[in-house]
């Protein structure tokens, strides 16, 4: 089954700790990205990756890091957690059509609900 | 600035009562408009992609249409299981390698 898998699904943790949220896709997609979803603000892109070892900032990258060492994995790293990182996080992947320089539809993971106290 | 606006924010329907959700967009060079369904606490589920004005896509009770300024998601004879938040998103020619710009969503509730 084609899917995007995130872990953990739920987490309550404390300010200052480090967290890595894992994301893995089994569709051989080149393009992967992270979004956060907040009430009233909708879904906003944090970081994206167009292929292995190629990453760039989205709209709200502050406080986050990413890496793309393998095509299937795209972990989100929160180096020092703060309460304003309390949110619902989604990883997504898309097939990239190089010839047309565009991506197809995005497939989303089930989400990681993070609470930082 | 690229912008996507969905209306209404919330919609309550009786089972069988057809209606439409609106997604209006102001973007530089549309590279695709996407409709997603999102159930509470879950990830958005892909429904449709539309690329050019005049295009239409259908799936069961849902039909998506696209003009140069907006898209509609028509729901015919909805059932309670159609209750969800429906998200519209666009990709543009100029954005960061394929970022999706989302609207705020329309929360649909269908009562039996």
Q: pLDDT tens, B54-70?
A: 999 999 999 999 999 99
Using the beta-carbon criterion (under 8 Å), do B98 and A105 form an inter-chain contact?
A: no
pLDDT (average), residues B82-107: 86
**Residue B96 reports pLDDT greater than 60:** no
Q: Which of B42, B89, B91 has its CB closest to that of A110?
A: B42
- Mean confidence (pLDDT) of chain A: 93
pLDDT (average), residues B67-86: 97
Dist. CA B110–CA B112, nearest whole Å: 7
**Residue A4 reports pLDDT greater than 60:** yes
Asked whether the beta carbons of B84 and B27 are under 8 A apart, the reply is: no
Cβ–Cβ contact A39 with B under 8 A: no
Alpha helices in chain A (DSSP H): none
Distance from CA of B15 to the nearest CA of A (A): 27
CA trace torsion A12, A58, A56, A81 (10° rounding): -20
Give A59's contacts in chain B (Cβ within 8 Å): 99
Predicted confidence at residue A99, as pLDDT, reads 62
Q: Which of A40, A45, A88 has its CB closest to that of B99?
A: A45
């Amino acid at each position: 089954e084609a899917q995007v898998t995130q872990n953990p699904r739920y987490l309550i943790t404390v300010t200052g700790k480090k967290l890595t949220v894992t994301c893995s896709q089994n569709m051989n997609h080149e393009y992967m990205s992270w979004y956060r979803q907040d009430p009233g603000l909708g879904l906003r892109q944090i970081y994206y990756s167009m292929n292995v070892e190629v990453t760039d900032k989205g709209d709200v990258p502050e406080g986050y890091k990413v890496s793309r060492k393998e095509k299937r994995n795209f972990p989100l790293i929160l180096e020092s957690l703060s309460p304003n990182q309390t949110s619902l996080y989604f990883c997504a992947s898309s097939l990239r059509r190089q010839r047309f320089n565009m991506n197809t539809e995005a497939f989303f993971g089930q989400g990681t609900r993070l609470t930082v106290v | 600035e690229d912008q996507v606006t969905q209306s209404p924010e919330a919609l309550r329907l009786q089972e069988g009562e057809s209606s439409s959700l609106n997604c209006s967009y102001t973007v530089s060079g549309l590279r695709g408009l996407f409709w997603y369904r999102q159930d509470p606490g879950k990830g958005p589920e892909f429904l449709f992609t539309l690329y050019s004005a005049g295009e239409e896509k259908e799936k069961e009770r849902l039909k998506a249409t696209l003009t140069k300024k907006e898209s509609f998601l028509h729901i015919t004879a909805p059932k309670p299981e159609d209750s969800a938040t429906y998200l519209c998103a666009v990709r543009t020619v100029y954005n960061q390698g394929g970022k999706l710009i989302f609207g705020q969503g329309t929360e649909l509730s269908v009562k039996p």
